[in-house]
A and B are shown apart, each in its own frame.
Chain A
Amino acid sequence: MANLPALQRALAGLILAPDEAGFAGDPEGFAAAFGLPPRDQAAFRRGLAGFQAYRELARMGLQEPVEDMFPVTMALLGEAGAWEDCVNAFLGARCLTSPHYRDIAPTFLGWLADTGWGQDRWPWLVELAHFELLETLVGRFPESPAPAGLAWVPSPEARIVLAPATQVVAYGHAVHRATEADPVPAAVPTFLLAYRDPEAGFHLMALTGALAALLGRAQAAPIARAAQELGLEDLGEVWPLLGELRAKGAIAGFAEGI
């Protein structure tokens, strides 16, 4: 196989490079850098406008789902003139591997978290982006059957079993209050329960730190023991709330005797 791999790498390189890597000024040189012979180099010169269109169209297609999903993050970075740098770094990292177009936005979040990009200046960046994606993460969580044999009424010896799509999230900043007009979140510990109801509608509920901790720990230990370990003495208001969350679909049920 002579030139096919190099030709495909050259076009991918043109699309994903942070800048055109000198393509417009020297298309032959660009192609030569991928090991392509003169007759293929000449084709890059002949098709200059078409190749530039590919770069623009493909980057637009990759950037659009990120901009649609993260408008507040974009506003924050845009104010500082850093949004294009961020997107360029993301695309240049070549971490988009999924065949699903809907995975582009989650991949962006994963890239932000893995690389720490921009977090020296905006320590809450990942939290902000995570919150912007939260509705989609929960709302489009793949369908899965509820575990069998769960009780519908909570009891001290039962564990909490969250519905598969439900997420309990803790942020150091009030990212849920950030807006495109005011994208800098206040440094306030924030606990949220994100879930979808039986009709797949998305809901968000603010939690106290204590309740968030209980919802976390009582998935692995009986509710009463989890509360004791957390120093929660009065569960009087918790029992009806747990029942309500089960009825709303946030909690799948309660596992007893395990």
Chain B
Amino acid sequence: MGPEAFAGVGLGLRRVHLEQVAGHAGHGVPFWETCPENVIGDGGRHHRHACAILDRDPVLTHGLSLSLGGLDPWDGDYLHDLGRFLVRTGTPWHSEHLCFTRVDGSSLHELLPMPFTREAARHTVARARDLQARLPVPLILENITYYAELGHAEMDEAAFITEVLEGADTGWLLDVNNVYVNALNFGFDPRAWLARMPLHRVVQMHIAGHKRFGDLTVDTHGADVIDPVIELMQWVLRRLGRPVPVLLERDNHIPDLEDLLAERARLQEAYDEVLAVPVGSADHG
């Protein structure tokens, strides 16, 4: 399925909803996003439902564990299985996070921040290019939330991400909630930040909820999306002037499917509101 088939607001496919979604082809969700790690090598009832959905509906894939910025060698067996899975789903691209998740053989199952250094940027560019050569579809990279700068920073986050995206020549999965959360935690203007970024590389967006814990805002994916984040999504869409698929992520406090579909519909309205306005007449401020 070609990239042009993906637009509007999709949902992350979650285990608790699999049976319901598999039995309900008229759900109205334009596409799903699935994490290959959760499907590859699995079996049983939920797996059967997941496969039925993946074989029926448009799907994008989103990886969690390749540890793009890490120093461990790739898991060759997993990459082989991943390649087969990507072909099977027909996804037009595969996304991974701009982070590391493994150290010295240990999987930490957490998206850990890269140091904002020239050394780390060079390393990540090389890894992204190498990974791209091993995947059957284009690789795109997602900006993460970070809660601390890992070591002395030689550049800021925006410059680091730009250097990696340009150096690796990859598309960008722009997570607007991550930008918003980082802006809260590090005190910058998210629009000014985005205005510095290579938005022409955006091929997909993520949107989600977050939560404040004391002085720190955490990207929990456990709450409804707040209006300022929706407005940030709209701001980006206006800037882009083209439809890119937006994916609503919900990983904690997962509501009933009906409630999640209603949340998706609310975001779809906001999405349509922007793209219904002819490019050039929208507020680009």
Contact = CB atoms under 8 A, between A and B. Distances in A.
Give the size range of A's interface with the partner: 35 or more
Interface residues of B, number: 46
Given A39-B152, A50-B147, A200-B48, A57 B109 contact: no
Interface of B: 37-38, 40-48, 64-66, 70-71, 75, 78, 100, 103-110, 112, 115, 117, 119-120, 123, 146-153, 185, 213, 215-216, 218
A1 interface: yes
Contact of A99 (B44, B75, B148): B75
Residue among A8, A43, A102 having the largest count of chain B Cβ atoms under 10 Å: A8
A5 B72 CA distance: 10
A12 to B, nearest CB: 4
Contacts of B107: 96-99
Contacts of A62: 108-109
A123 interface: no
Contact of B42 (A3, A61, A99, A102): A102
Contacts of A11: 103, 112, 150
Contacts of B112: 8, 11-12, 54, 58
Give the top 6 A-B pairs by smallest Cβ distance, nearest first. Answer: A50-B148, A47-B148, A50-B147, A99-B65, A12-B103, A200-B45
A182 interface: no
Contacts of B147: 47, 49-51, 53-54
B108 A58 contact: yes
B43 A7 contact: no
A32 B130 CA distance: 32
Residue among B106, B117, B146 having the largest count of chain A Cβ atoms under 10 Å: B106
Interface string A1-22: 1111101110110011000000
A46 interface: yes
Given A58-B108, A101-B38, A139-B45, A7 B149 contact: no
Residue among B45, B75, B117 having the largest count of chain A Cβ atoms under 10 Å: B45
B115 A12 contact: no
Main secondary structure of the interface of A (DSSP, over half): helix
A139 B46 CA distance: 9
A159 interface: no
A91 to B, nearest CB: 9
A141 B41 CA distance: 8
A46 B44 contact: no
B41 A12 contact: no
A42 interface: yes
Contacts of B218: 53, 57
A15 B100 CA distance: 14
Given A140-B44, A142-B42, 14 more contacts: A3-B117, A3-B119, A3-B151, A5-B71, A7-B150, A8-B70, A16-B106, A43-B148, A53-B218, A61-B109, A94-B104, A96-B109, A99-B37, A139-B45
